[in-house]
Structure 1
Amino acid sequence: MNAAAVPANKRRRMMITPEGLALPITIASRGSRAGALIIDVIIIIAGLIAFNLLMNWIAGGLLEGTVLDVEAAPRGAQEFLQILLVIVGFVTWYGYFLVQELGPRGATLGKRLVGIRIAARSGGRLAAEAVIARNLLRDIELFYPLVFILVLLVGATMGEDIGPLAWAATAWFALFLLLPFFNREALRAGDIIAGTWVVETPRTRLAKTLSTQGAAAARGASDVTGTRYEFGEAELSVYGEKELQTLERMLRDSSPEALAAVHAAICRKIGWDPGAGDERAFLEAFYGQLRAKLEGEMRFGKRKADKFS
């Protein structure tokens, strides 16, 4: 079976958060990860080409005939410009991945287009060192051997004896390329070192109301005990959109035992006495009021992506 065609239910996992919550996630398919990387590489290369053309156009149009004319510049100045372009390329390549993956969405533009993101396997916040490690390893896994193979092929076409280097480079590339096919989580070497995995991004909208919500979500009152749950600004401010979406999924799909664990974790977080026996009503009320708060803030251009924002 093709890796990209593996059913989603075969890729379902449970992630345990630092608060002890078991959250259902879906591992991203290998095909979607490859597609996201291709999109990102195309964006980077297109951006660098556009930047280079723009700089050449500016230099040719504004500096021609002056003492700063690029064509008439001394060799040292031309080498400086080449070094500057290399630095821009280096910063663009690593900055593109690091800046976006360290953001609240944990995903580059390519990953967002195919609906996946990076997450820490520990269930905690995605650490900067983890993102840096997995991106540095990507070059060692894929791009360095690819460049090495291309250089060897060019040398071979020019009549150079490359010996067994081509086989060694191909084995290097194949080893890392095939690694995700030999583990259930589709982890590449960078994920193993960094303690990350790539998961599908839930596509939920804040404007939609839970189809399974009870009276507590609508009125703040429990049908079981009659208790009216009202939460203050400080209590609702501890969570953001990501946690709201997670809570929505759990209210739809999770067992009473899982909801009890979520209820206890939220109570600890906001300083309430957890009690027992009315967990769903509490969670429905918390969900409804948190959603209303976040939607109200979004109307004024203010967004809270997650509890770390």
Structure 2
Amino acid sequence: MSLFARLFGIKSKDTDTTVAENTNNNQSIGLSVVFKGSLNFDKDKLLEKLRYLDSSITNVKYETPAGELEQGVFALISWGKHVVKLIGFNAPFPADALETCVEPAHYSEDIKNQVRKNDSHVILYYTGHDEDVLEQYLALSRLAVCFEEFNALAVINENAHSSLPINVLNDFLSDEDSVKSLCDCLPLFFCGFVKYILEDVKGVWMRTYGADVFGLPDFAVLANNHDEGSDYFDMFGNILSYLRQSGATMNPGDTMEIGDNKMMSLRAPQEDEYFLKDTGNVLVVEIGK
């Protein structure tokens, strides 16, 4: 019996599908959507909203290769080059993983508390054929916001330690200029921007998460205080955008003039900065005269 059969209880043995997933995709990115109440969405309305968000979308397919499930959802949704694997659970999103994405986010505590009290969630994995990670994220995001009218609360990006209320992400995807802003400033959602304070450390550590899926380094800095957050948010966003669009690289030991006769130098995390070491490549920014 398959994993999905064990999880959900399959009523139908029909496993035929015309949706062709990319089996050569070595790096599958994903987004999650959390809901108030149990999962209850109309697939036709879902696909209608998807077409509304992008008028170029044609021939959208929604297939359930595991057949009808007693609980939860398993579906493949495809259009153009894109294929998304949807797995839905009538259970809250795991609390610890959720908090990692909600606590550092920049929206109201009231909305955060609603998100924390979610009742169900879906996970959207990209299994399509577009090789551009940004286009993959946009495909997932467009599908994610289609759940807004079905009591969805927020969209979660675990890899980036980030989240956005679903109506905010929907606004970003509503016109070309807003989409461009979302793409040009990766720390808005596709790469997280997290601030945290460590005991016995003077200042506030700020860093990005999730740039590795773009083939880029994450950046970190020990700022003097929280007030410098917007400056470093903009700096990291501009550097990541430059690296992604130019194909340039940055490595430990590199320096860059950043104005006002200041120089930015890059180094690898030190041994006592274990909290910066993860699966990606993190570069620590130091500002000097």
- Give the structure-2-normalised TM-score: 0.25
Higher relative contact order (CA 8 A, sep 6+): 1
Structure richer in strand, relative to its length: 2
- Give the structure-1-normalised TM-score: 0.24
